[in-house]
Chain A
Amino acid sequence: MAVIYIDHRAYEVKAGKNLLETCLTLGFNLPYFCWHPAMGSVGACRQCAIKLFKDKDDTQGRLMMSCMESVKDNMYLSINDPVAKSFRSQVIEWLMTNHPHDCAVCDEGGSCHLQDMTVMTGHTYRRFQYPKRTYKNQYLGPFINHEMNRCIQCYRCVRFYKDYAGGTDLDAFAAHDHIYFGRAADGVLENEFSGNLAEVCPTGVFTDKSLKEHYTRKWDMTMAPSICQHCSLGCNIIAGERYGELRQITNRFNGEVNGYFICDKGRFGYEFVNSINRIQQPIIRTKIPEAVDKNSLYDYLKTVLSNRTVIGIGSPRASLESNFALMQLVGKGNFYQGVSETDAQLMRTILHTLNAGHVHIPSLKETEIADAILVLGEDLTNAAPLLALTVRQAVHRKPLENAQQISVPPWHDTARREFAQEEKGPLFIAYPTKTKLEALAANCQYLSPDEIARLGFAIANRLDNTAPAPQGVDEDTLQIAQHIANTLKQAERPLIICGTSLRNEAILKAAANIACALGTEDKKASLFYVMEECNSMGLAMMEVPSLKQATEALKKKEANTVIILENDLYRRDAKSAIDDFLEQCEELIVLDHLHHETSNRATVLIPVGTFAEAEGTLVNNEGRAQCFFQVFAPKNENFRESWRWLDEFRQFKQGISPEDLQAPGDLMMEMAASMPQFKGAEEVAPSADFRISGQKIPREPHRYSGRTAMLANIQVSEPKPPEDHDSALSYTMEGYRGIPPAPLIPFFWAPGWNSAQSVNKYQEEVGGPIRGGDTGKRLFPETPAIENAFLNTIPPAYKASPGEWLVVPLQHIFGSEELSIYTHGVAERAPHPYIAISQQDANDLNTREYQLMQVTIGTLNYELPVMIKKELPHGVVGIPYHVSGLIGIAWPAKGILKPVMT
């Protein structure tokens, strides 16, 4: 703690921070450009000047950049000093001399930090009469638009892209006032986090190209707090709508999860909501015409559901509410996870470890401070993108922190990087192929899944010799295991990362053993799991059997009617197994928002709302329950939450007729009451009757326009705005304008701060948690460990078997996930199908790169072009996971390869 005096008033503040963040935390409006709360200071823009005085009696003072000064006790400074003020407004005036007079056609306008700062400093009139500098723009791919004239040379873009996200294809070019930020040549920005440039860049140089396709200003959007649906990390997002279309996803700060950034899949993967492939109307395939209205559907289902035993198939990408509503409808005994037995078993193993209490489950934020990391069998960049970003920070953290030895403060970005140079903290990766994080790794092992597990077991054994040891491990591997074990042991905050991608249970067990051997009673080791879907964890926690048992139940004729919830089963298990399952169903009722192979087989198809048209709770990979809220009331009244439909069907079953249907009660309350593992999930967000000063929280900014015209073409008298009975948010612009609790923040805005930078005003201290605590509730309490029990079942050493190859699924950030692929930019970035084989296998098969290879996996046949990945272990081949049509494979898979003769 230190006391500083700002304009003659004393404030007690935290020492060690810089003056800029301190002033912002205290609520002062001090303009800045180049400083970023996650990236620290460089002192490049000169915008944050203040007057600093020697002592109390000094009246002269000197101009200093507040972002480059550490807070010290007894500092005297002035923000409002006339010299400091005019200096700041002159700086803006200089920055604006070349500004292209573009705001009207600039996508940043209305959420532009440059606009905000210009207004803040009071520069209102252009005095500079001379010609403006101009630049040519570049094509940067499907996600990001480039308009270089608007640049103010703050360097934030390259600092984020290169230093923070590890990108290599964006840089500063040219010299003096010709500085140019772009690529060496036109081309796609390759980094998976490029979308953040739109938020990091304080001007309109880098903007969101997907927004441009249906451009809407921030003030015109109806927005709601939401959760990303595209991987298991559960990043917090803000989703915005206009004219019934989802228009933009931006980052929603959550100090425990995603912080200031999200990945490109999360930012741009939203187009499926607007897809023409949406199911628009209930369909009963036995009727003519097939498409029916709600009442005919009700009538039909009432008879079907009241007379039969029904099986329910849940989904790892549907909310807890929807899964629970289905379970309530069919009864616990008839509810199954909509995943393969393999996947269900993997999740059981994970739950077992988490419940045993030997390990600490870190939040995404905590992974950023790990000082030794071991990744077993996951390609982070592709399977859990943001985790790759936090791991990158973790690897750099220690060397950067060492700069404190020469008294470089922690916020001094350039100096720290200069000090650390290329030095890195230890990161070990074991995966069948090269991954993007490899460049950071101290050691990479290219191993088959079983060998990865065996390496893991060996490490655990080296850490604690009571842990089971694998037999027949060669000397080299043992040495590596020893080295990794030593490094982990020496680390203060070691982190083990593993996951379900390779579908290998032994890897999960090995990782659990390592964490177990590493941790002590009072300092447990951190173990982070990567899973497949946004609610994989939630579904697994319901602890019900898998599709395999569901098929058995159908075969035993225990039931013949099946309800499938938001799930394309062909993505979950072998095609033959799913065919077999679906064949047993006499009546197949599918609820989903998009048509797919499973929905094509449905006899009754019911449209439901996507995350943008529904409300729900998801549990992310660390067991954090988080709520997403409905963004807008869709024009199509059939787009209702699955849980709303299902709860009505439950009422039919109880004999209530369609006219007397009740609104569903609080499903999360019921769920927490009937399943104690979900205790706490019902409190994630304030309830629907929550009010601040008697008011709801508006989803629309106070400048929302067009209310009396947007629907006037249909009917000139404005309809009553839709009401939201399910949450404390309203669909209008009227309501409470202050800072709501974190789970209910629909957008960031503060007077004078229209851009995303306004998040400063929502935080307890700049960069810290949102006032009143970040979103989400951890469902796994840290329990004392039950007796130390190492898991056994070490797989035998992997041996390539002649004539048969082990096929591993290779994850791709763009292409592997079901929903994001509907965004054409994501589809453009997705790989073409291929088969990756090792050099040795290629030689054995007498094939070359790009030659077609016939791949037979079970009953499936593909012809795929060969891609040679030298590092792959002998006998292991990889195919891109779920990329264009490569679905219906039961993982882990064995395949037969045959070159196609041409």
Chain B
Amino acid sequence: MALTFLHMFRKRETIQYPEEKVVLHPRWRGRIVLTRDPDMGERCVGCYLCAAACPVDCISLQATEDEHGRRYPEFFRINFSRCIFCGYCEEACPTYAIQLIPDFEMAEYNRQNLVYEKEDLLIDGQGKYPGYNYYKVAGLAIGVKGKGEGDNEDPPIDIHSLLP
């Protein structure tokens, strides 16, 4: 009884949500977004790794290509009514495109509204990982850079040369 009484003077753990907001740290795993690279190109290259990593299979997409051969998702859908916010997709993503952000306020009356399409997911920023541009380090030439112009690349081989 005394113990219970004493607790009244302790610091409160409960907060007056929603008047009072929760403090969320940057690595908090909440709503998922798709980010852009520093050139504002879509980061997602439609590699399907996030979809494969997802334990509840709630990511579905279709890759397509622009006229330079740059891959991007034709559609990208996350069914948040299934998502368990495990962050595996973010971990699997080789381009930092998919990121979990500190936001959990997504309640809906209608479950159908929890199906997010690419338009709902794509943000106009780089999210947690600024500066990374996958196509600068990958070997493909898809309009971002020419062959051999990427980071850590030699110029293309002249196959007619016999010089050592």
Contact = CB atoms under 8 A, between A and B. Distances in A.
Interface of A: 100-105, 109-110, 130-137, 147, 149-150, 173-176, 178, 180, 212, 214-217, 219-220, 243, 703-710, 712-713, 715-717
A133 B154 contact: yes
Interface residues of B, number: 51
Given A105-B47, A706-B57, A716-B111, A134 B153 contact: yes
Nearest to A219: B52
Contacts of B71: 105, 215
Contacts of B47: 103-105, 109
B157 A180 contact: yes
B60 A712 contact: yes
A173 B159 contact: yes
Given A217-B48, A712-B79, A716-B114, A104 B138 contact: yes
Contacts of A704: 57
B25 to A, nearest CB: 28
A176 B137 CA distance: 25
Interface string B16-54: 000000000000000000000000000001111101101
A104 B72 CA distance: 11
Given A134-B139, A705-B59, A220 B48 contact: yes
Contacts of B150: 134
Q: Chain A interface secondary structure, helix, strand, loop or mixed?
A: loop
Given A712-B77, A716-B79, A716-B114, 16 more contacts: A102-B139, A103-B94, A105-B47, A105-B140, A134-B155, A134-B156, A135-B156, A136-B156, A174-B157, A174-B161, A180-B159, A705-B51, A706-B61, A708-B56, A709-B57, A716-B81
B92 to A, nearest CB: 10
A706 B115 contact: no
Contacts of A706: 51, 57-61
Contacts of A102: 138-140
A703 B49 CA distance: 10
Contacts of A137: 147
A641 B148 CA distance: 52
Given A104-B94, A104-B95, A134-B147, A708 B159 contact: no
B52 A705 contact: yes
Contacts of A133: 154, 157
A712 B157 contact: no
A707 B131 CA distance: 33
Contact of A104 (B54, B134, B164): B134
A219 B46 CA distance: 14
Contacts of B154: 131-134
A292 B57 CA distance: 38
Given A217-B52, A705-B52, A132 B139 contact: yes
Contacts of B157: 133-135, 174, 178, 180
B14 interface: no
Nearest first, the 6 closest Cβ-Cβ pairs linking A and B are A100-B139, A706-B60, A709-B60, A705-B51, A104-B47, A134-B148
Nearest to B44: A104
B90 to A, nearest CB: 14
B41 to A, nearest CB: 13
9 contacts: A101-B138, A102-B138, A104-B49, A105-B71, A174-B159, A212-B65, A706-B51, A706-B57, A708-B56
Given A149-B139, A716-B115, A135 B51 contact: no
B4 interface: no
Nearest to B95: A104
Contacts of B117: 713
Interface string B71-98: 1000001110110000000000011000
A215 to B, nearest CB: 5
A232 to B, nearest CB: 36
Given A176-B164, A716-B112, A709 B45 contact: no
Contacts of A149: 139-140, 147
B58 A708 contact: yes
Nearest to B56: A708
Contacts of B155: 134
A705 B59 CA distance: 7
A175 to B, nearest CB: 5
A716 B115 CA distance: 7
Contacts of A173: 159
A173 B58 CA distance: 47
B162 interface: yes
B50 to A, nearest CB: 9
A133 to B, nearest CB: 6
Nearest to B110: A716
B112 A709 contact: no
Interface string B108-131: 000110110100000000000000
Contacts of A705: 48, 51-52, 54, 57, 59-60
B138 to A, nearest CB: 5
A149 B154 CA distance: 11
Contacts of B61: 706
B53 to A, nearest CB: 8
A132 B52 contact: no
Given A136-B156, A708-B56, A220 B139 contact: no
B162 A175 contact: yes
Nearest to B75: A713
Contacts of A217: 48, 52
Nearest to A150: B139
A48 B150 CA distance: 33
A709 B59 contact: yes
